[in-house]
Amino acid sequence: MCSIFSQIVAGEIPARVVYEDESAMAFLDANPLAPGHTLVIPKAEYERLNDVPEDVATDLYATIHRMVPAIEEAVDADATTVAFNNGEAAGQEVDHVHCHIVPRFDGDGGGP
Ligand code: 5GP
């Protein structure tokens, strides 16, 4: 099993990495819904949130918590949509857990 995102972690596929530590990585989405649309992933590959061990989930949330204000500041956003598509029926296309952080701007309609 080697997802596109695992290949980004391994440096085999280029990405605009904006944050990285031992267990998590954040990089810009290749098809952004808004400027600064960022994906936060656990470096280890888990298909769904349901598969993520609690310690990894804790680290992942800490990274999300850190990235949200940093991204808002970087693109001067008024708000952010923070979302996981968890499973195919929810629209998950890449089978490696990832959190979308989508900057939102007053009047853009908002929503997931
Ligand atoms: P999903 O629908 O699985 O929640 O979202 C997957 C996201 O990954 C999409 O927003 C898509 O644009 C993004 N994506 C897919 N392949 C790549 C890639 O190779 N590089 C980057 N940076 N983003 C990707």
The residue assigned the tokens 């695992």 is: 6
Nearest Cα residue to 23 out of 2, 54, 69, 68: 54
Query: Taking the domain 4-104, which CATH number applies?
Result: 3.30.428.10
Q: What local confidence, expressed as pLDDT, does residue 110 receive?
A: 81
Whole-angstrom distance, CA of residue 46 vs CA of residue 76: 32
The residue assigned the tokens 């996981």 is: 84
- 6-10, 56-60, 95-99, 106-110: lowest mean pLDDT where? 106-110
Q: What local confidence, expressed as pLDDT, does residue 1 receive?
A: 64
Tens-digit pLDDT profile for residues 23-55: 999 999 999 999 999 999 999 999 999 999 999
Pocket test for ligand 1, best of 27, 81, 93, 100 (most atoms within 8 A of CB): 93
Nearest CA to ligand 1 atom 17: 30
DSSP annotation of 53 reads -
Domain residue limits, the chain: 4-104
Read off the pTM.
Answer: 0.97
Atom of ligand 1 lying closest to residue 95 CA = 3
Q: Is the pLDDT of residue 61 over 70?
A: yes
Is 100 annotated in the active site?
no
Ligand 1 environment, Cβ below 6 A: 4, 13, 15, 27-31, 39, 85, 91-94
Neighbours of 26 (CB within 10 A): 24
Kindly provide the ipTM of the predicted complex, given to two decimals.
0.99
Q: Is the pLDDT of residue 19 over 90?
A: yes
Tens-digit pLDDT profile for residues 69-94: 999 999 999 999 999 999 999 999 99
